[in-house]
Amino acid sequence: MENIKVMGIGVISKLGNNLDEIWANLDMRAESADSHGKIDFESVVPKKKRRRMNRYSEMTVYTTHKALESSRIDTESLDKTKVGTIFSTGYGPMVSNLAFAEMVHEGDQDLCSPTVFANTVSNTCVGHVCMEYGFQGVSTILMGSNNIAYSSSLLKKDVADHIVTGSVEEYCEELYEAFNQKEITKAVPVQEASVTFVLKKSDKSNKGYCEIIETKDCNLGIYPLIEKVNEARVKQNLTKLLKQVNGGNHSEIDLIIDSSNGSYFDALESGILTDIFGTQISRIDNVKQLFGETLGSSCNVGLLVGALILKNGYVPSKLGGNIKTDHLKTILVTGYDVSGNYTATVITKERS
């Protein structure tokens, strides 16, 4: 089986906008800001270009810039036709869409502006990334779907040499207030985040963060934060999926990062994980308590945390620093997205 290597990571999150800051916050070496709205970040886009770009796209360009920077890849030496861009979002540029709708409602004469309309389209962020870096490979935006699985598949088929992939969920006051008023999401407030990874086929160099062994998914029937799932159906689907994880070699899993967010779904997932993996495998269940419920970015945030744990070689204090890490090598990361897809991704330390 051919693994996929995570070469670089870029992020905008409640706990910080660079990897060192996030790790310091997780390891209680810094105090994280108590942010529940827009997260401040320093744009990497020149002012002239920024006028045609919405914040949703700026977030994606920023995390792409940081991911490429952390990968230490010389982008000028790459074949740009073999660099893909695959991103995912839950609700897309909702702020721009609401602004456009208001213009239409009020009869604003500028409502036909190509720039205003372009910013209402979900793939506008991918377009700006491609224009900024000259990437000409396979490119798309997925609406609440598994960007890691799709990117991995494209790399294994040699459709691309590198893929810049990730997710973006921009703060929208109206949307977030609607979620935070729901009983299901009261325990963990909704929060914005953007995460970008630079992926390539695994090689013998020890320059990345981790390797992706596999990612599998199934459908829950509905997004668990909208309404309650059919528990009998979900238990059947998740049991079938998780039994197949890592080729059934469950003893090789050293740590599980689950999708807990304080909702009813936690107990359902926890019970299934215990039935399949037992109680001996350590589990992290507070990622969303720290980063917030990031909707379309939540699966990628979980993967980010797993990659940092493998790279740094231990579990930081806020995630359960008492977890034994003597032989920590392989992590299972679970999550679900706004389309009701449940994802199980297995990552491991780089092969030297």
Q: Indicate if 40 and 122 belong to the same structural domain.
A: yes
Provide the 10 A C-beta neighbour count for residue 233.
12
Q: Indicate if 247 and 131 belong to the same structural domain.
A: no
Q: Indicate if 87 and 143 belong to the same structural domain.
A: yes
* Stretch 36-55: mean pLDDT: 88
Task: Output the CA angle 321-322-323, nearest 5 degrees.
Answer: 90
Res 33 pLDDT > 80:
no
Q: Indicate if 216 and 191 belong to the same structural domain.
A: no
**Residue 31: predicted pLDDT:** 58
Are the C-beta atoms of 54 and 95 separated by less than 8 Å?
yes
**Residue 50: predicted pLDDT:** 83
* Stretch 182-192: mean pLDDT: 86
Predicted confidence band of residue 69 (pLDDT cuts 50, 70, 90): very high
Task: Name 262's Cβ contacts closer than 8 Å, sequence gap at least 6.
Answer: 186, 187, 188, 288, 289
Res 32 pLDDT > 60:
no
Q: Indicate if 215 and 189 belong to the same structural domain.
A: no
Percent of the chain, pLDDT > 90? 77
Q: Indicate if 140 and 283 belong to the same structural domain.
A: no
Res 30 pLDDT > 60:
no
Percent of the chain, pLDDT > 70? 94
**Residue 128: predicted pLDDT:** 95
Give the whole-angstrom CA distance, residue 186 versus residue 293.
10
Give the whole-angstrom CA distance, residue 298 versus residue 338.
10
Are the C-beta atoms of 346 and 213 separated by less than 8 Å?
yes
Q: Which residue has the higher pLDDT, 344 or 322?
A: 344
Q: Indicate if 92 and 197 belong to the same structural domain.
A: yes
What the block records as the tokens of 230 is 């059919």
Q: Which residue has the higher pLDDT, 328 or 195?
A: 195
pLDDT tens readout for residues 275-332: 999 998 999 999 999 999 999 999 999 999 999 999 999 999 999 877 766 789 999 9
Query: Based on the structure, what is the number of domains in the chain?
Result: 2
* Stretch 241-247: mean pLDDT: 94
Q: Indicate if 187 and 219 belong to the same structural domain.
A: no
Q: Which residue has the higher pLDDT, 62 or 321?
A: 62
Give the whole-angstrom CA distance, residue 90 versus residue 117.
19
Res 240 pLDDT > 90:
yes
pLDDT tens readout for residues 84-110: 999 999 999 999 998 888 888 777 666
Provide the 10 A C-beta neighbour count for residue 9.
28
* Stretch 243-272: mean pLDDT: 95
**Residue 117: predicted pLDDT:** 81
**Residue 133: predicted pLDDT:** 95
Q: Indicate if 9 and 89 belong to the same structural domain.
A: yes
Q: Indicate if 149 and 259 belong to the same structural domain.
A: no
Give the whole-angstrom CA distance, residue 74 versus residue 71.
9
Rounded (10°) angle between helices 147-156 and 298-312: 60
Q: Indicate if 235 and 190 belong to the same structural domain.
A: no
For the ranges 155-169, 213-227, 261-275, 309-323, the lowest mean pLDDT is seen at 309-323
* Stretch 193-202: mean pLDDT: 96
Q: Which residue has the higher pLDDT, 51 or 170?
A: 170
For the ranges 6-15, 50-59, 80-89, 201-210, the lowest mean pLDDT is seen at 201-210
Give the whole-angstrom CA distance, residue 136 versus residue 78.
11
Q: Indicate if 97 and 193 belong to the same structural domain.
A: yes
Segment (H or E) for 139:
strand 139-143
Predicted confidence band of residue 35 (pLDDT cuts 50, 70, 90): low
**Residue 281: predicted pLDDT:** 92
* Stretch 256-261: mean pLDDT: 96
CATH number at residue 77: 3.40.47.10
Domain residues for the domain of 268 are: 210-348
* Stretch 226-232: mean pLDDT: 94
The residue among 201, 222, 242 that closes a domain is 201
Task: Give me the chain's average pLDDT, please.
Answer: 91
What the block records as the tokens of 336 is 């679900």
* Stretch 333-339: mean pLDDT: 94
The residue among 153, 173, 201 that closes a domain is 201
The residue among 162, 178, 201 that closes a domain is 201
Res 173 pLDDT > 60:
yes
Residue among 301, 270, 295 nearest 283 (CA):
270
Res 112 pLDDT > 80:
no
Cα–Cα separations (whole angstroms), residue 239 to 66, 224, 231, 258: 37, 17, 12, 15
